[in-house]
């Protein structure tokens, strides 16, 4: 007899037909559009999210977005992502990039692959922004390409998920 438990476990090991991508935005990113445009541009968070959700739909993927100014809420959302079987995370940890061991630990605990993204080039700014608690765990980092960087990160996520084998491992990719 197939119990609920085994069928759920099986569902987890087989990649879903519709990849599920979570885009997480850290503190102060709700102010995009008016916040220091010289660093972060003029696109609002709504503009960015709308473009990502639309791109996801066109590719047959579910793209969810979440912004919060509190560390604990972001950590809870990462835990929830594991529960929801999210396949990939795109995260701009914003100021927490440079401070949050706890958010890093949440991503490490769930082991969901993620791309770290920054609108500005953090390496061309103040020295305290040069260190990230996330980069060594990330699949990759996009920094300095403005709102376009989110689109590139999502394209990568979709490409990465399309290249999964039925068992969830990655097909061998050509260097690009
Ligand atoms: C940021 C860069 C961080 O240093 C900063 O604290 C942010 C935004 C970026 O997107 O460029 O809030 O992550």
Mean per-residue pLDDT of the chain: 89
Q: Domain span at residue 149?
A: 20-162
Does position 176 have pLDDT exceeding 80, yes or no?
no
Is 41 inside a domain boundary?
yes
Q: Is 59 in the pocket of ligand 1 (CB under 6 A)?
A: no
Is 44 inside a domain boundary?
yes
Render pLDDT for 77-109 as a digit per residue (tens, 0 to 9): 999 999 999 999 999 999 999 999 999 999 999
Cα 1 to averaged position of ligand 1 atoms, centre (Å): 51
Residue nearest to atom 6 of ligand 1 (CA): 95
pTM, rounded to two decimals: 0.87
- The distance between the two most distant Cα atoms of the chain, rounded to a whole number of Å, is 61
Cα 13 to averaged position of ligand 1 atoms, centre (Å): 35
Is 149 inside a domain boundary?
yes
Q: How far apart are CA 106 and CA 104, in angstroms?
A: 5
- pLDDT score at 166: 57
* Structure token digits, residue 132: 């990230």
Query: Contact at 8 Å (CB) between 74 and 89?
Result: no
Render pLDDT for 9-40 as a digit per residue (tens, 0 to 9): 333 445 567 899 999 999 999 999 999 999 99
Is 134 inside a domain boundary?
yes
Contacts of 161 (CB under 8 A, 6+ apart): 15, 19, 21, 61, 87, 88
Contacts of 98 (CB under 8 A, 6+ apart): 128, 129, 131, 132, 133
Is 6 inside a domain boundary?
no
- The string of DSSP letters for 60-95 reads T-EEEEEE-S-HHHHHHHHHHHHHTT--EEEEE-GG
Is 104 inside a domain boundary?
yes
Is 126 inside a domain boundary?
yes
Render pLDDT for 117-135 as a digit per residue (tens, 0 to 9): 999 999 999 999 999 999 9
Query: Contact at 8 Å (CB) between 156 and 146?
Result: no
Burial group, residue 78, by CB count within 10 angstroms (0-12, 13-18, 19+): buried
Does position 139 have pLDDT exceeding 70, yes or no?
yes
- pLDDT score at 1: 34
Does position 4 have pLDDT exceeding 70, yes or no?
no
Residue nearest to atom 3 of ligand 1 (CA): 94
Is 5 inside a domain boundary?
no
> The CATH number of the domain where 130 resides is what?
3.40.50.9100
Number of structural domains in the chain? 1
Cα distances (Å, whole numbers) of residue 164 to 13, 16, 87, 135, 159: 12, 10, 11, 23, 9
Q: Phi, psi (5° rounding) for residue 128?
A: -65, -15
Task: Output helix, strand, coil percentages for the chain, rounded to the nearest 5.
Answer: 45, 15, 40
């Amino acid at each position: 007899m197939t119990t609920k438990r085994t069928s759920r476990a099986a569902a987890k090991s087989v990649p879903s037909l519709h990849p599920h991508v979570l885009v997480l935005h850290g503190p102060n990113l709700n102010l995009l559009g008016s916040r220091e445009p010289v660093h972060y541009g003029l696109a609002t968070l709504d503009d960015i999210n709308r473009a990502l959700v639309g791109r996801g739909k066109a590719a047959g993927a579910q793209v969810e977005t979440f912004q919060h100014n509190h560390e604990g809420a972001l950590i809870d959302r990462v835990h929830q992502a594991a529960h929801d079987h999210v396949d990939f995370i795109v995260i701009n940890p914003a100021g927490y990039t440079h401070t949050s061991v706890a958010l890093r630990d949440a991503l490490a605990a769930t082991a969901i692959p993620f791309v770290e993204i920054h609108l500005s080039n953090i390496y061309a700014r103040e020295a305290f922004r040069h260190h990230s608690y996330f980069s060594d765990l990330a699949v990759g980092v996009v920094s300095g390409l403005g709102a376009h960087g989110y689109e590139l990160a999502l394209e990568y996520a979709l490409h990465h998920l399309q290249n999964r084998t039925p068992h969830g491992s990655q097909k061998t990719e050509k260097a690009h």
